Amino acid sequence: MEFNMQDGPILLFDGVCNLCNGTVQFLLARDRDQVFRFASLQSEAAQRLLSQHAPGVEFPDSMILWQEGSFYTQSTAVLRTVRILGGIWRWLYTLSIWIPRPVRDWVYRRVAGNRYRWFGKREQCILPAPEFQNRFLS
């Protein structure tokens, strides 16, 4: 599926990481308005998005949020994602935004750096369930 940059927020995630895949499944189950689009960082769509809008920029290899023409990484990506999700999850954003960013990012980097050891790793990216295929970019 080709993507339009106006289609809403796009979450780029590590497609072989069990934690990242679990996060995507969590979002798919709770994103009632279907605002999120997804692409694994290993996909051509993600690489195209990154090279078109941030050539030469070194990004983390776990999760990146593209929203309204900007990339967000680390804890900011997580917090913006839960804010977009809305509902009770918006409270997590409201509470966590008061934690200084260096502290939030330190925690994020610890989890991201250990994600394969703690949550496991797949040999290849999973395919989305048929009912969600239109939400994944290729």
Residue range 55-114, pLDDT digits in tens: 878 887 889 999 999 999 999 999 999 999 988 888 888 888 789 999 999 999 999 999
User: What's the pLDDT at 84?
Assistant: 93
What backbone torsions phi and psi does residue 22 show, to the nearest 5 degrees? -65, -40
Quick one: which H or E segment has residue 30? helix 18-30
Residue bearing tokens 């949550």: 119
Residue range 33-45, pLDDT digits in tens: 999 999 999 999 9
What are the residues facing 39 on neighbouring strands? Answer: 12
Which two structure tokens, joined as six digits, stand for 110? 């610890």
List the end-to-end C-alpha distance of the chain, in Å, as a whole number: 5
Distance (Å, whole) CA 100 – CA 95: 11
Distance (Å, whole) CA 135 – CA 10: 9
The DSSP call for residue 48 is H
